Amino acid sequence: MREHGAVLSRVCMALLGDGVAATQALERIAREAATTNFPEGRELARLMGLARAACANQLSKLPIRTASWGNDANAKTGTSAPALARSAVGSLKPTEREAVVLHMVGGLDAAQVAEACGIDVETARQRIARGVGQLVQEQGKKQ
């Protein structure tokens, strides 16, 4: 868990967009990881699966977000790159958001994303491709 703590933190923050909720999710991941034996070589994907579940649990406790998820005053003025990134990722469907965040922020390949999300590899590839494609398309509209 210690060696993957930084990437888990980034993934939780990217999925939740809220520091307090991300901290609570990380605490849950740490508790669950302490009592779990991971297969050798698959620790990161399994930890990301725990992160995905913990973040989903935290999201269920947060206020419902609209299509403007992640948009704040800084995003509107274009002064905050993290706010703009949260806004763009927030525009994705939840399944695609998870796949893109696990892939781009978490550094997982499609097979690891599939394992973390409990889906087959081809579905993981499709979700990543659709999500990244939508992000690229949104970026093109803004330029």
Task: List the domains of the chain with CATH numbers.
Answer: 2-142 (1.20.140.160)
Which pLDDT score is estimated for 65?
55
pLDDT of 71 strictly over 70: no
- Around Cβ 18, how many Cβ atoms within 10 Å? 17
> Could you tell me which residue, 80 or 43, shows the higher pLDDT?
43
The structure's pTM equals: 0.77
Which 3 state secondary structure label does DSSP give 42? coil
Give the model confidence (pLDDT) of 27-40 as tens digits.
999 999 999 888 88
Tell me if 89 sits within 8 A of 97, measured CB to CB.
Answer: yes
Give the span between the Cα atoms of 25 and 119, in whole angstroms.
Answer: 22
Top mean pLDDT of 3-12, 82-91, 117-126 is at: 117-126
CA dihedral 28, 31, 36, 39 (to 10 degrees): 60
Mind giving me the DSSP string for 60-113?
HHSPPP-TTTT--HHHHHT--HHHHHHHHHHTS-HHHHHHHIIIIIT---HHHH
- Please report which confidence band the pLDDT of residue 61 belongs to, taking 50, 70 and 90 as the band edges: confident
